[in-house]
Amino acid sequence: MNLWTFAGICLIVASGSSEFYSPSDDVVKLTADNFVASVLNSDKVWVVEFYATWCSFSRDLVPTYREVATALKDFVNVGAFNCEESQAERDVCGQIQINYYPTILIFGAKKYDPVEYNGDDTVKDIIWAAFSLALYSSSDDVVALTAANFDKTVLKSDEVWVVEFYAPFCGHCRNLVPEYRKAATALKGVIKVGGVNCEEEQSLCGQHGVRGYPTLKIFGANKRSPVDYNGQRTAKDIAEAALAEAKKKIKNVLGGGSSGSSGGDSSSGSSDDVIELTDANFDKLVLQSEDTWLVEFFAPWCGHCKNLAPHWAKAATELKGKVKLGALDATVHQVKASQFGVQGYPTIKYFPGGQKDRNSAENYDGGRTSSDIVNWALEKYSDNIPAPELVQLTSEKVARDTCESKPLCVVSVLPHILDCNAECRNRYLTILKTMGDKYKKKQWGWLWTEGGAQLELESTLDIGGFGYPAMAVVNLKKMKYSLLRGSFSEDGINEFLRDLSFGRGHTAPVKGAELPKIHSVEPWDGKDGQLPEEDEYDLSDVDLDEKDEL
């Protein structure tokens, strides 16, 4: 048998041998007869391995894939499709464009646009990829919540919401799924139940102070101060806690009592984390630092200040390492209180990170509970992360400094300056800077070079086949890359990067599993390119003999 292999895969050149999976396995046998009905017409998420029994890499994957199927049994359907079983199966694999074995595809909500799995062949990694699409489906009564719809759907609604903040890789989150689905169905029409995937919505989860998974919060009468649910993780207990919050809201509306949202949220903070500020140290600690600050101007006799104190301490503890919280006694240190126009107590001012002066201060307009303070501060903090620098690839050192420690490196190859003048190039650079700012929270590295300056790099990443400009995103840890196939525009690049950030998109191994040599080049001077001057020759003074006559 003539069997060719490449980078841990079997190319399609042969057929034969016996089956890998038996009816006793948790792997569903898929064929040409049942594939459409079982997978494409299903509401469930499917993980499907396309394999050939003669392929040694398919055979090596069998024990791992069996473990994956068993682990996912109650959450995701796992199937296997033998592409060499008969001509009918070959036709299906051809239609899906299976070019090597084994190929694992994850069929999520868009069944006709499956996601190819390109990670390591480990149980954990395959399960992680499956759960990134699969904790809750559109057929569940659990509403998918994102940064785009959270405020409108939850915070600005009149309904009580139970929201789970989860991560697909979290075992406790997976264990909660059946009970949470059951609670959502039981509460349907009475209380809304939603879920936030914190792997995809890191900023949103950060705003709500999520520190572990799963975190359940009940958004009742005071939406800006949700109640943390710490009860048993059963459908009955979750439903009862939600109904209790709904009852509080009703009593509050009818004037029968408070919503209870201001209590129980003020413990477990340390006053040691609140920094004491004075007229003498304020400029040095706050204005002359690069840190982000929230500063409370208070009076010792003020009742509202006393009520705020435990919440302020708890917020300081939770925000440690990101936002500093300080307190200044305005009755003693009146110079600073006067400079910042303090006229009542407590007054809270926000000072952004980076260079600042007294005019940088902003008024705090959030709530007075620790969760309100934390959420408000984290939102400001994430908004003020600086955009990454867009760096020209001029040397090996620049490549390492820009991308070595980053999760991904975005490499753009722009047209040569003689084909695209300074104005043209600056338009492309502006697009890249805009995208860098949009995806700044990802903390990727951003490099650019001009066509022809780094030919070995272009060859390694298959850049240039579609012309310039071109873009590749490289994972240096896994030595894999993905090419931009759409337009080099804000919309085209945004769609490409968004898919990559969600774990979607096609990737390929970097040739040779290492990046090529990077040549040292002069940085662009920001000017139009100039054609090299041609030497002029005057033939009038040249003596020609007869043999040399023109």
Check the CA dihedral 389-392-395-400 and report its sign: positive
Per annotation, catalytic residue among 173, 198, 409, 420: 173
Token pair for 512: 């040779």
Q: 170 an active-site residue?
A: yes
Task: Tell me if 34 sits within 8 A of 46, measured CB to CB.
Answer: no
CA–CA separation, 369 and 383 (whole Å): 22
Nearest to 408 by CA among 332, 521, 499: 499
Cis check: omega of the bond before 346, within 30 degrees of 0: yes
Nearest to 64 by CA among 80, 82, 85: 80
Q: 305 an active-site residue?
A: yes
Label the pairing between strands 347-351 and 100-101. unpaired
Token pair for 510: 């970097």
φ/ψ of 70, rounded to 5, equals -65, -45
Q: 205 an active-site residue?
A: no
Task: Tell me if 469 sits within 8 A of 414, measured CB to CB.
Answer: yes
CA–CA separation, 55 and 39 (whole Å): 24
Q: 294 in helix, strand or coil?
A: strand
Per annotation, catalytic residue among 198, 305, 403, 420: 305
> What is the DSSP annotation of 151-205?
IIIIITSSS-EEEEEE-TT-HHHHHHHHHHHHHHHHTTTTSEEEEEETTT-HHHH
| Environment class of 383 (CB within 10 Å of its CB; exposed 0-12, middle 13-18, buried 19+) | exposed
Burial 329-367 (b: 16+ CB within 10 A, else e): bbeebeebbeebebeebbbbbbbbbeebeeeebeebebb
Nearest to 79 by CA among 20, 9, 167: 20
CA–CA separation, 377 and 406 (whole Å): 26
> What is the DSSP annotation of 118-136?
-S-SSHHHHHHHHHHHHSS
Q: 420 an active-site residue?
A: no
CA–CA separation, 181 and 162 (whole Å): 12
In sequence order, what E strands does 382-454 have? Answer: 390-392, 409-414, 445-450
Task: Tell me if 184 sits within 8 A of 130, measured CB to CB.
Answer: no
List, by residue number, the catalytic residues. 170, 173, 302, 305
